[in-house]
C-alpha cells in the first residue's frame, strides 16, 4: 500500500510524479489520477552520476526537483513514486538489490526525498509498477489474476492475484529471473536471467556471430557493437539470426512460465520490456508454454503483449504513490 497524506494527496488539481530509474537513463513523468500522462521525458545519466550511491542519489533528487519545479506552474505534485530495476524491501522502502547500478541499500533515499519535497514518496520495483499500470489503464483492466513479465536489465515479474498486487512477505516476490531452467546446449541448469535479460540476449547473439557472419548484426558489431533494441529492429527487418535469437529467448522464458501457469492458474501473462520486441516473443512463449504447462491451466491463460509503452513504469510508480 502506498504511503499517503490526505492533506496533500486529496486535491483534485494536483498531479502525481513517477520515476523509472533505469540502468542507462531516468524516465520521469507527471500523471493525473486516471493514469493519463501529462508530461514525459527520458534523461541520460550525466557523466559521473553513476560513480557511487551518493552520486546516483543526487542525480535522482536533481531530476525530481527539476520536474516538480516545472510542474508547479500548472498544478502541484501530490506524491512521488520511484521504480527501481531490482528488489525493493517494502517494510524499509530501501532498494536492496539493483544490478548494474551503485548499491543504494545503505541510503534511506525514500525518507530523504520525502523530507526534501514534503510529499509522500513510494518505492517499488519496475515490474510491479508496470503491472499496476497495465492493471489500471492497460491490457489487464478487469483481470484479477495475471502476471506482467518484464524483460530488461533483469527478468522480473509483477504478479496480481485476486485483483491485488502481490509482493510476498518483504516485497521481494516476482524475481523469476532467478528461477532455474534447463539449457540443453549447456547440459545443465542455469538462471533464466543468464539467458533472457537484455544484456545476456546481446551476449548470446555475439557468441552466435562467431559462427554465423551473414547477419546484418555482423556489420553493427564491426561498427562498435549492438544493443538489444538493435536485435529487435533487425528481427523486424527480417534478419534470420535476430529472429532466431529472440525465438530462443522466448523458449527459455517458457521453461519458467509454464510452471507458473500450472501453479497459479493465471488468466493472463502480459509480456513487457522493450515495446517493439514484445510481439516477437509472445507467439513462441505461448506455443512452448502450451507444450509444458497443465493443459487445463493453459487454456485459461492468455499470453499477450503488454499494451502500455515505455511510460508504463512511470505511470505505475506514480499511481502507487498516489494510493490508487
- 30 & 67 share domain: yes
Same domain as 128, residue 146: no
pLDDT along the chain (324 residues), means of 10: 40 86 93 95 91 95 95 93 95 91 94 96 97 97 97 94 96 94 87 95 91 79 82 94 95 97 98 96 97 97 97 98 88
Residues 172 and 91 in one domain: no
Same-domain pairing of 22 and 82:
yes
CA 2 to mean position of chain CA atoms: 19
Please list, in sequence order, all residues whose beta carbon lies within 8 angstroms of the beta carbon of residue 45, skipping any fewer than 6 positions away: 24, 25, 26, 56, 59
| CB-count exposure of residue 136 (10 Å: 0-12, 13-18, 19+) | middle
What confidence score (pLDDT) does residue 12 get?
58
pLDDT of 212 reads 72
CATH assignment of the domain containing 215: 3.30.420.40
317 shares its domain with 296: no
**The pLDDT of residue 286:** 97
> 196 and 90, same structural domain?
no
- As a whole number of angstroms, the distance between CA 250 and CA 287 comes to 10
- Domain membership flag for residue 1: no
pLDDT at 4: 39
The domain tally of the chain equals 2
DSSP code of residue 119: S
Q: Are residues 96 and 211 in the same domain?
A: no
Which pLDDT does position 3 carry in this prediction? 42
Q: Which domain holds residue 179?
A: 142-305
Inter-residue contact 89 to 171 (CB < 8 Å): yes
Residues 84 and 150 in one domain: no
Residues 201 and 288 in one domain: yes
**Residue 237 forms part of a structural domain:** yes
Predicted pLDDT at 186: 79
Does residue 191 share a domain with residue 124? Answer: no
pLDDT at 219 (0 to 100): 77
Widest CA span in the chain = 63
CA distance 220 to 216: 7
Amino acid at each position: 500500500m502506498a504511503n499517503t497524506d490526505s492533506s496533500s494527496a486529496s486535491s483534485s488539481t494536483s498531479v502525481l510524479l513517477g520515476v523509472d530509474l533505469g540502468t542507462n537513463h531516468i524516465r520521469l513523468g507527471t500523471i493525473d489520477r486516471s493514469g493519463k500522462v501529462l508530461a514525459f521525458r527520458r534523461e541520460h545519466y550525466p557523466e559521473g552520476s553513476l560513480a557511487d550511491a551518493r552520486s546516483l542519489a543526487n542525480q535522482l533528487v536533481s531530476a525530481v526537483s527539476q520536474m516538480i519545479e516545472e510542474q508547479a506552474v500548472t498544478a502541484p505534485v501530490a506524491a512521488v513514486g520511484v521504480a527501481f530495476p531490482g528488489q525493493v524491501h517494502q517494510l524499509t522502502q530501501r532498494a536492496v538489490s539493483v544490478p548494474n547500478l551503485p548499491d543504494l541499500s545503505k541510503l534511506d533515499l525514500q525518507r530523504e526525498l520525502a523530507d526534501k519535497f514534503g510529499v509522500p514518496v513510494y518505492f517499488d520495483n519496475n515490474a510491479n509498477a508496470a503491472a499496476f499500470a497495465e492493471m489500471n489503464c492497460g491490457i489487464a483492466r478487469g483481470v484479477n489474476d495475471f502476471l506482467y513479465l518484464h524483460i530488461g536489465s533483469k527478468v522480473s515479474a509483477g504478479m496480481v492475484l485476486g485483483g491485488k498486487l502481490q509482493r510476498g512477505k518483504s516485497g521481494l516476490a516476482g524475481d523469476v529471473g532467478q528461477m532455474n531452467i534447463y539449457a540443453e546446449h549447456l547440459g545443465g541448469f542455469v538462471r533464466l536471467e543468464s539467458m533472457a535479460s537484455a544484456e545476456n540476449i546481446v551476449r548470446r547473439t555475439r557468441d552466435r556471430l562467431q559462427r554465423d557472419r551473414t547477419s546484418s548484426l555482423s556489420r553493427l558489431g564491426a561498427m562498435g557493437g549492438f544493443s538489444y533494441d538493435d536485435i529487435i529492429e533487425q528481427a523486424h527487418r527480417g534478419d534470420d539470426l535476430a529472429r532466431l535469437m529472440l525465438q530462443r529467448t522466448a523458449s527459455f522464458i517458457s521453461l519458467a512460465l509454464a510452471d507458473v501457469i500450472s501453479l497459479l492458474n493465471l488468466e493472463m501473462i502480459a509480456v513487457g520490456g522493450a515495446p517493439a520486441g514484445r510481439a516477437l516473443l509472445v507467439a513462441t512463449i505461448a506455443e512452448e508454454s502450451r507444450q509444458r504447462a497443465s493443459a487445463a491451466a493453459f487454456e485459461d491463460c492468455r499470453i499477450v503483449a503488454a499494451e502500455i509503452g515505455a511510460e508504463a513504469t512511470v505511470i505505475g510508480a506514480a499511481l502507487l504513490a498516489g494510493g490508487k
